[in-house]
Structure 1
């Protein structure tokens, strides 16, 4: 004897009460019975993805419950019996029929009807929107838009702070110019008596003074030219030129790196996520997560960092970079997860390529002109070299930064933190690779080897051995 299904009746009655008060859609509908093919009028209430029906609007206890998750609803034609010539059949023919189809075989559809077509369309639309999975998809889309808007807001905040500082500097400059104008006016007032006396001077004296003025101007320009040329040829000026060139190269390299991450996310990660959600997915969502891990987060981080670098270049020749690294350093720990997962992601990608459908799809993505003939493995490798690239750039930048420079200590601190992070990532990659190689060797042994399962065992060398029999 088949046992009946148990459910939490108390909670179901509570949901029925909520449906009666706050339901998305409520009203009378005619329901077709499965046994006698008769229509009975019931009072229905839709709450989230559960459809309740009651004997009447005043009934406190539901007569039945339908779970709508995975169901579809569509309009249905009037039954053939309703197309007769009688007045009753004509009235039935004018009613609006619709059917709720359940997502598995053996379950009879729920046939409903109502008198008003507009009311029927509202019921069909409400049942369509009752799916929880559709709400999750919409939530994911809204989260992506929210993250994008947050990035825009952060960028706008940075730009607003820069504009505020510029306005403050301009206000200071205006006050300084006003004070200079006042001082010049006072000087002009004091010089007026002397100007009246100069008009009565001898013409030869005027000529002598004019020659002296030209001579003083020439000597001043000559001295200033010598000072400028001496500075241009000085080691300090040469060091500043090299420092500026390093910063410009850093901005270009960061721009190229952001473009590489953009291609990785938009040409591979997001299309593969969509492919994993298809009816016949060539790859699973778990494999997509294992291959790409937090690539999208890394892209968002470096887009913000790149915007900050471009804002600093806009203020050239004043180049202050230390505060950007102060913002970047606490967030670089996400690279630890990516680097730790890198070898595993390449193994998962190699296993997925054994699937012909996936391999064919991946080649289509790699044929995109934005990839410039590079494979997915190449794009997955780019983040591995970003931390060492920052260390090299900071080393070159410090080599051309004077010891009394305001950024010297901040740049040295950033370089030490990056070197420490690089050592940690290198050790973690070495330990992870050592464990994986030991496990691979242990799996080749027929009866297994418990010693190799000890994490303290270290992989040293791999090669062939030969056994010779004594003669």
Structure 2
């Protein structure tokens, strides 16, 4: 016959008191009784993956213990009050702890504060030995990494101390030689009529040779130290990082120049032309085509000046604060990207005006444009955010993990990637709506289904259908396919034109 499992009462009491004193979460909760009829107020204390409960907060021994390993804790809806219930359930918040043990009944608890309820649910959910083991492994890896860094720094510090000691010994020796030379000089000055002996001349020559050799050895040793650092992986990484920053400066200068040409060669002249007596374009069309291009130019001029100031302090390059200033203002790119396709359509519509087309060709013929069209300059801001993301990827690849800017650059990259995804989704959704609207205008009698935002454009093309009597009719419009939110593909009906003459033989 299997005996029951024995527990050490002293250990359980010690752990309960430790949980009551330094537990992760402590407080008074209402616990549902085993007969599912009454609620009893108990004092609960959470320690790691063990949940103790006492009769009250002054109890010295626990009334019970729950092992939470593998359990699931969730909020529970308030039960419907019975007609005979005297307690008010409106201010009670319930949650349950479900165990994965066989024949283990779920623990039902409640509080009088929604914040307290949520904090208990979060604390019990995290009360797992597996989570603690994972966190311990992560911290251990960080500890080993920091330990390697400390050992490396100790080795370098030891080498530097040895070099300093050697330098101090050399300095003391040189001081003694200087003191001896000063004494000899005083003797010579005190006895000017005594001619120097041949021994003194030979000693001076020897000292000059020794001084030359010592200087040569010192320079050679310093050159060796410099060359070792130049060939080190840290120096190579810093060179690549500086090269990325210098390339970023050149790309930013080119981008600012492109924005300057867009604003000064196109936006401002067209804005003045719209104010003339016979305007070739309206102010609304100018605003639709260029939107906030001028604001983007001012923003990047400030960013470029800040980047140049950072380059001036080379080799100390600090760029994170520049991106901290740039990130909150990049939302203006969302409006520009969202409006890009519409601006190109407005530009194409305005080109049908001969006066506007002639004026635009004059602007595009300027030497600054280098035979580039207005559409090309309007496209440049579309690629600036992805270019920043690629630059930050390269910069982080050559930035050490212990670098002071590592976290800030990583945060800027994540924010730019999030902004890029948002802009891509908005452009796709806007382009989908415009395609559906264009197809709806092509249909003779119209189609209200396409105007529903739940329809997604798939493709369109020529289609042939057979007449019930065997005659072939050719479609003269495009057949669009749309995809609704539930995944059903539908073919939008179009009005067919009459059969062209002379097609019977071809159909046969």
Residue-by-residue CA offset, 1:149-199 (whole Å, 9 max, x unaligned)? xxxxxxxxxxxxxxxxxxxxxxxxxxxxxxxxxxxxxxx999997654454
C-alpha change, 1:291 and 1:305, in structure 2 (3 Å) is same
Cα deviation for residue 208 of structure 1 reads 4.9
Cα deviation for residue 265 of structure 1 reads 0.6
Cα deviation for residue 432 of structure 1 reads 0.5
Aligned with 1:395 (options 393, 396, 402): 393
TM alignment of 1:113-192, pairs within 5 A: none
Equivalent position of 1:457 in the other structure? 455
Equivalent position of 1:405 in the other structure? 403
Aligned with 2:370 (options 369, 372, 397): 372
Aligned with 2:229 (options 221, 228, 231): 231
Return the alpha-carbon distance in structure 1 between the equivalents of residues 439 and 182 of structure 2: 104
TM alignment of 1:210-289, pairs within 5 A: 210-289=208-287
Return the alpha-carbon distance in structure 2 between the equivalents of residues 357 and 451 of structure 1: 40
Max Rg structure:
2
The DSSP-based 3-state class of the residue aligned with 1:467 is strand
Q: How many aligned positions are there? A: 285
Equivalent position of 2:344 in the other structure? 346
Cα deviation for residue 320 of structure 1 reads 1.2
Aligned with 1:355 (options 353, 356, 365): 353
Cα deviation for residue 205 of structure 1 reads 5.5
Deviates more, 1:327-336 or 1:236-245: 236-245
Residue-by-residue CA offset, 1:189-244 (whole Å, 9 max, x unaligned)? 99997654454697365555544443332222221111111222222222222211
1:445 paired to 2:431: no
Structure 1-normalised TM-score? Answer: 0.57
C-alpha change, 1:191 and 1:208, in structure 2 (3 Å) is closer
Residue-by-residue CA offset, 1:121-147 (whole Å, 9 max, x unaligned)? xxxxxxxxxxxxxxxxxxxxxxxxxxx
C-alpha change, 1:242 and 1:192, in structure 2 (3 Å) is closer
1:325 paired to 2:323: yes
Cα deviation for residue 411 of structure 1 reads 1.0
Return the alpha-carbon distance in structure 2 between the equivalents of residues 189 and 348 of structure 1: 84
Structure 2-normalised TM-score? Answer: 0.53
- Gap runs ≥5 in structure 2: 1-173, 189-198, 471-508
Equivalent position of 1:302 in the other structure? 300
The DSSP-based 3-state class of the residue aligned with 1:461 is strand
Return the alpha-carbon distance in structure 1 between the equivalents of residues 218 and 367 of structure 2: 60
Residue-by-residue CA offset, 1:7-64 (whole Å, 9 max, x unaligned)? xxxxxxxxxxxxxxxxxxxxxxxxxxxxxxxxxxxxxxxxxxxxxxxxxxxxxxxxxx
Structure number with higher relative contact order (C-alpha < 8 Å, ≥ 6 residues apart)? 1
- Gap runs ≥5 in structure 1: 1-187
Return the alpha-carbon distance in structure 2 between the equivalents of residues 196 and 400 of structure 1: 54
Equivalent position of 2:425 in the other structure? 427
Equivalent position of 2:12 in the other structure? none
Return the alpha-carbon distance in structure 1 between the equivalents of residues 263 and 363 of structure 2: 12
